[in-house]
Every structure is written in structure tokens, then in C-alpha cells.
Amino acid sequence: MPTKAKATTGQLIRGFEPYKETKGEEYMSEAMRAHFTSILNKWKLELMQEVDRTVHHMQDEAANFPDPADRASQEEEFSLELRARDRERKLIKKIDETLQLIEDEDYGWCDSCGVEIGIRRLEARPTATLCIDCKTLAEIKEKQVGS
């Protein structure tokens, strides 16, 4: 029997093995939900460590520039960092919402049309709430509104 092709898609999140479905396994079985819970928890931890590092970095450096000009450029740098951290915090919130979905056994189906989002897509984007078709459509609409 030929072995399945290995999934070699680029992964956002480090350190997890792509899920191997057993034959006839039900979509979003308990094992699958556990798989995504673990991915999301790891991801969240990485983000939280990232946020922590920045805060400490800024606390350490804040006192080091008595010169106002230095301080100004430093503040600019900080505000860029803070914006990045803000995105991370939003992502953490999104991850928490996703973990709740898993707990409610509501995870993995498209919010818009109800089809299975699919394991490989969810591994690449664990917080996805739309199937690839609906997502593509939503992005097209967004672009039209934005232009």
C-alpha cells in the first residue's frame, strides 16, 4: 500500500507534527481536537513570551536615554513595538476564542457555509473560521470596499 504524501506545506507555528488521521476517523474527533488545542496553546505561549520580552526590554531601556533626542527616537521605536505587541495581543484573544470553540465542539466548520474547513488548512491557520472558498470571497469583497 502506498504511503500518503507527506505534508510539507510551510507552517506558521513551529514544533508540531501534522495530524495523521486514522482510517475512517470522524472529522474533529476527540484526538483531532486535542491536536489543535495543543497547537493553539503552544502558539499562545510563544506569543505571550514575545510580549513579555518586549515589556522587559522597554523597561530596561527606558531609563537609559537622558538626552531628549535619543528619547524621541526611542519612543518611536517603542511605539512600533507596541503596535506589533497590540497585534499579538489581539491574536492571543483570537486564540482564546478558538480554544473555546474547540471546547464547545464547534471548531473546524466554516462560519459562513458550514463545510469542513479541513485539517491541513487549520494546521496552517488554526484560528481560521472560514473555509478557503468563503475566505477568498471575503477577501475579494474586502478589497472592493477598500479601493
Chain residues 102-121 in contact with Zn ion, contact rule CB under 5 A: 110, 112-113
128 binds Zn ion (CB under 5 A): no
Site string for Zn ion, 63-102 (x = CB under 5 A): ----------------------------------------
| Full DSSP string of 4-18 | PPPP----SSSS-PP
Quote the least distance from Cβ 138 to Zn ion, whole Å. 9
Closest CA to 41 of 13, 21, 61, 1: 13
Query: If you search the block for the grid coordinates 533626542, which residue do you land on?
Result: 69
| d(C-alpha 127, C-alpha 94), whole Å | 7
Quote the least distance from Cβ 132 to Zn ion, whole Å. 8
- Residues binding Zn ion (CB under 5 A): 110, 112-113, 131, 134
